[in-house]
Structure 1
């Protein structure tokens, strides 16, 4: 009984619920919208409704003036008519079987359109198309429609210098979570805001002719076609005339890898970034005030040549910067040049990875110092050159400071080879490796490189590079760089010599260990294989008004650097480095300099030339990225020999063909900041005398036009090819009041066609135009002779010499001037010259001595002073000033003693009339087993009354030192006597060139070979 009652109650509630559901009405917010469904089809001027078979139906089938859910479920299509005027379509979501929403235009009045108001569609899961073209809709929101395929509301698009028919007033369009929609067209609707998300199958989007100011397309990951052209601020004025003010100024299409068509013509975009759109085929950007266009995306887009537009390329002439793929840069330049526009800077430097999909080969290179395999504790093997080859093309890079490297490729087979600067000193594992990429789907291949030593060998290198020009009265800065090219850890010293008479040391970025007039020393330790270090040194150049040593534009500043250890070095020639810099009145901070200079001899062909490229951020903002780009001429240089030596910041080097790029990524160089890169490259060995080699760099600061440096030209010329005046002389038969001197200028070089001599004092001949005049002086004293030579083009060069005639003695002792007075400590001794083993000239200075030091005693009660080259251990040459014994001399004698640290060999060098030299060893240090040093008189035998025949001579002393503290010190006491009188060369007179073109003064020097006997260990 109880069970029966419960069943009856349950049945009652189910029946009640069923009746309630069937009777539930659709809730409408706009009464007009509700009423539109109450008319029969024949009388309905607002909406037409269709069933699933496409037949017109009356929705209010029970005529109760309400629309039940069951009645709404019968509607499969709604067509709005021209008389529709609604403020809201709330209630439309109850039409659950709705397939199509459309507009039916069956009126002759083309300017009358429905007024729809707001539409908010949500979860109409059977809706397939939404096409209200053309209708005036205020706001549209379409969400969660699983089967929706197309959304459209478009007005006539007829403007081409004619008229508009654009009446849409849509303020906002929102489409979200409609996974099947493939096309959205909302055209000429005055749309002001559009948000489209979660539509993964949307491939075509047309929003032209609206009022959007910005649009973010990034959620539309599969979009292929995007039209945002002709977006205007307003459609018309009160007079009905069209207003053509563009509106779109911000567009984001980042990450749309399927996008192949983009139309944004007639907008106000200033920047367009298409770098991630890797399938773009056609772009139309006409009539935009574009300043930056970023299209480095791995493909070659076509810039659509819109018919009837001004520029055939479709590229606006407001462009200042285009970043494109390397493969399309020339094409774009041609496009623009056809339009007569060349003001856009076109590069590929907006990104340092290739545009589009690509593959990466990367890894690290480390030096296994402890021979237990490379691990995290081992140091980077920086600047190791790596070469990549795919069988057709090749490229190179250098391992970076942190030990990393990268190559970017497409599909193919690739071989990477390590090329150490000293390959015989290292074992590289792997020295070569190969990888294959079947596609370009962003594959990554990682290969680490481990380098170990092959034997033990020191190999240090030192370089001086100018970072600024040298101006009178201003600071000048230089970089001193030292590198370890060997396979041992190095400890030693680096010394830089400079002319302290012409410039004053101010500062160095590394602390120095010793500083004296003309010399600065830096100690280093633990310099690992292929590690490099550097310091920047600043001097103040003398002013032109300096009372003692004025410096003017055109003067030359000489520098020399040495590094130890050098006695066991593999390549001792790069343990010394010389650099000469011409003083200028002004300079460009973005420049290139070859440290070997503007002229090199033919013996230097095929050897390294060192270049430094300096750059300065002269802009007002920080420079995030800087690229130094050089084209290396394959007819002049072997780019395979190029070595990166030093850079002011982390740098990535990319060598492709004969082009090298030094990429300072993320350098963030402040306004006014400086940077530099130092490299060396060998000239081709096939070059000949008279050939020239040139280098120039382009410097890119972010998106700005490149700054071109000067073009630095180095010409190969031997001394005989350079117009140079050379004076030789011999003394005739001297007697009191009669001193004939035979001068000879015939050994002058460079195609001399005429000579002009000028002689000071009152000799019998004060001038001459013959090659070899004879001049007789009647009084003993100081004189000068000047020779000027001319070539066929009337170019000229001059040499002036100064000499003293008639003295019966010549004091050649160190530390004395030409008048035999002591020179002040730390001052130059210009009567002596020093040379390193490569022939680089160094001016010695008088040095302080300590108690207990010997002096070179020759028993004449006249002291000499110690001089020094301020250098470290090694072999160096000293040369005295010249003296001449007359033809009739019979009693000319030389008395001499040479002291040094720790050993020396002393030579008498005779200068022959043709300029060649003949040398004779006259004494050397006797280094005995008791360990006594060469600076003791007892260990340096005296030369007594050494007979001299007529001729011109000088003294040369080869010094060896293994003690850097004494800095190649030398003390020579030397006196020449001759009763008939002598000619003594005074301090070197300044060269006075008057060239109309270029002048070079060459001093020939002879370097004695390193002794093989009695050498100090």
Structure 2
């Protein structure tokens, strides 16, 4: 009998060990109801628990899920709408979905799980630790002040939490961040999948929102009632749809919004929105193109010794590299002073034509190896390196000189200029640089380097060993006579300069001399534009015009980035564009929409109050007029200068007028037009008799003529800029007039 009794005790202990301890009666009853008790003994054995893969105990008045750890086979647990204050699902490694919304949870840790979908809305969570596998997060309506969002989410809904600080959110399906105290957010969509909705609303502390990593939208983007939001980045394809259309974008109740960044192709849509405030809307908050693209970088070097290029060979700065997609030219990029270039391309195979890069030479003195480079990208996000090695085609001596106005010329003040001379041939050169100026109205102050010789109206410098593609500069300062000196200099007068470079034989001697007409001004904006000639004859249509854009940081903090954008006149030949000089390192691009851009990335230009001399910058380029222009045509241009996230500063408009062949030009200061600006009439004072006056608008259209009149009624003209072509017995000239 003792042996039988002992056996019964062992059997009883074994059966008891298999029963899961579930103290909460409501939890246990729910398990019985949903059929977990498969042997109908009103208990839950471990074998029964481990066999369960799906559990839904919604709204069952459960206060504790103690015993859930025995359900090791669970893949989905739904326990919403109960009275849970704690929940431990650690170790349930098969679980992929947890829905525990509408409880009283204060803390939740799912780090020791493989949960991918978590729904924990409407709890009292102050602490939430996520699993590495998390993909979809719905935790709105809690008390979270901080949350680790360093995950690749599909859905991310974290609204109605007192979250503070800065967040980076990566999501591919949905992002909703409303009624929080976050300061900034950066959202990205690395998978490229379609995001149906984005919402950032009612965030009282949100200052900065960057959606530049988001594209392929297919629903609404709502950014509303964020009273402190100052910066909004919609660049790189947001808010475009996957089909290339325009998603619904709602911007409202954003009284502090100062800057919206978007792609060029989206700016018009953004500007059409009823934003309510008046932010700056620009594409210059980043320097990569919008949407999908590929990148090609490279360096151009000179093979002077004929043995191929290596790292010891000299680089080739300011060389144009043409960008084609198939047979279509898309624009140009230019090498920087280190010989490097960058090309961003939206073309790929099979998504479109491959990109073809070709170095361009102003003269056929050199050839490149390879002659072209063709990308072989599949899709986007690719990068490649395409270096070019150039070698001379024979012996070609060729120098070029340019005079650059670094400052404006004002009566009684100093004016600063740079002489830039460059070897664009194949041979090292030595020679002389000279500058002729009007000594009676200009006084020489200083030069760096110092002059080697000086005559009454001519300064000269000697140079030696100027290598191919090398540029050198001479900086000089001249003082302009005031109106009280003799001869007097007044506003509107023109200062005539001739710079020259010589070194013996030269294949293109025309650019060994540079004539520059510098118009004297009064009060001035330090951000301006100048052109080398205000008038040209038909015979000069094959000559270059030289443009200089000057800029100065007149703010109270350094400018990290500066961009100069120049929408070139339709009367200029884009194929002839060449870089000349710049004050700082830059990257330049030209697109076939005549948009020329200079990117001074990381320039850190000092504020005028911190470093007045260092607060200035400039860029100079040259380009030819179109050969089919006729007399009376004008070439008008201005530039837009962007300092970081500020509104662009638009420069003055400079104009070059095509004049008749054979008519002699007279000095502009032989004529005085006053008042200027004028509202009703203008008067003309001249040292000779006036024969005729022709008034042109900025499009080159003739709008009014007058014969032998010194007072002209302009009241019928629309306000704006005009050009007066004045003809006398001595010749003719052109003056600018502003009608107010």
Regarding TM over 0.5, the answer is yes
1:637-673 CA distance string (max 9 Å, x none):
1111111111111221211112211222222211131
Contact 1:509 1:535 in 2 (8 A): yes
Native 8 Å contact 2:416 2:476 kept in 1: yes
1:396 and 2:332 equivalent? yes
2:639 corresponds in structure 1 to 697
Q: Distance in 1 between matches of 2:667 and 2:297?
A: 55
Match of 1:470 in 2: 409
Secondary structure of the equivalent of 1:452?
strand
Separation (CA, whole Å) in 2 of partners of 1:723 and 1:493: 30
Query: What is the rounded CA distance, in whole Å, between the counterparts of 2:320 and 2:15 in structure 1?
Result: 81
Distance in 2, Cα, partners of 1:722 & 1:549: 21
Change (3 A) 1:399 1:750: farther
Q: Residues 602-751 of structure 1 correspond to what in structure 2 (within 5 A)?
A: 602-634=538-570, 636-657=571-592, 658-672=594-608, 673-718=615-660, 720=663, 750-751=691-692
Q: Residue 586 and residue 1000 in structure 1: after superposition, are their counterparts in 2 closer, same or farther (change >3 A)?
A: farther
Q: How many angstroms apart in 2 are the aligned matches of 1:25 and 1:514?
A: 108
Q: Note the alpha carbon deviations across 1:346-378, whole angstroms, 9 max, x for none.
A: 332222222444222332211211222222222
Q: TM-score, normalised by structure 1?
A: 0.59
| 8 Å contact kept, 1:208–1:227 | no
2:266 is aligned with 1:328 = yes
Determine the structure 2 residue equivalent to 1:211.
162
* Matched positions, count: 663
Q: Retained in 2: the 8 A contact 1:176–1:196?
A: no
Q: Secondary structure at the match of 1:121?
A: coil
Matched residue, 1:791: 707
The verdict on how the C-alpha distance between 1:437 and 1:71 changes in structure 2, with shifts beyond 3 A counting, is: closer
Q: CA–CA distance in 2 between the matches of 1:579 and 1:291?
A: 45
Does residue 131 of structure 2 align to residue 193 of structure 1? no
CA distance in 2, matches of 1:455, 1:559: 34
Distance 1:701 1:72 in 2: 66
Q: State how far apart, in whole Å, the 2-side matches of 1:104 and 1:154 are.
A: 9
Residue 121 of structure 2 is matched in structure 1 by: 154
Query: Would the aligned equivalents of 1:49 and 1:75 in 2 still touch at CA under 8 Å?
Result: no
- 1:129 aligned to 97, 102, 106, which one? 97
Paired residue secondary structure (2:510): helix
Partner of 2:738: none
Equivalent residues in 2 for 1:394-793, closer than 5 Å = 394-409=330-345, 410-411=347-348, 412-423=353-364, 425-440=365-380, 442-515=381-454, 518-546=457-485, 550-565=488-503, 567-596=504-533, 598-634=534-570, 636-657=571-592, 658-672=594-608, 673-718=615-660, 720=663, 750-751=691-692, 791-793=707-709
The aligned runs of 1:85-484 (5 Å cut-off) are: 93=69, 96-98=72-74, 100-103=76-79, 114=83, 116-146=84-114, 148-155=115-122, 168-177=123-132, 179=133, 181-196=134-149, 202-214=153-165, 216-218=167-169, 223-232=171-180, 247-254=181-188, 256-258=190-192, 260=195, 261-268=197-204, 269-282=206-219, 283-289=221-227, 290-298=229-237, 300-301=239-240, 305=248, 316=254, 318-334=256-272, 336=273, 339=274, 343-390=278-325, 391-409=327-345, 410-411=347-348, 412-423=353-364, 425-440=365-380, 442-484=381-423
Deviation at 1:721, TM superposition (A): 8.4
The C-alpha deviation readout for 1:96-126, integer Å capped at 9, x for no partner, is: 4555544465xxxxxxx62x33444322123
Tell which structure's C-alpha radius of gyration is larger.
1
Question: Is the contact between residue 429 and residue 467 of structure 2 (CA under 8 Å) also seen in structure 1?
Answer: yes
Displacement, 1:397?
A: 1.8
Q: CA RMSD in A?
A: 4.0
**Structure 2: segments with no counterpart, 5+ residues:** 1-8, 609-614, 671-685, 695-705, 713-722, 732-740
* C-alpha separation in 2, matches of 1:575 and 1:508: 21
5+ long unaligned stretches in structure 1: 1-14, 27-33, 106-112, 156-167, 233-246, 307-311, 728-744, 754-789, 797-995, 1005-1017
Any conservation in 1 of the 2:576–2:624 contact (CA below 8 Å)?
A: yes
CA–CA distance in structure 2, aligned partners of residues 436 and 474 of structure 1: 57
1:458–1:570 CA contact under 8 A, matched in 2: yes
**Residues 258, 175 of structure 1: alpha-carbon distance in 2 compared, 3 angstrom cutoff:** farther
Is contact 1:38–1:59 with CA below 8 Å preserved after alignment?
no
SS in 2 for 1:376: coil
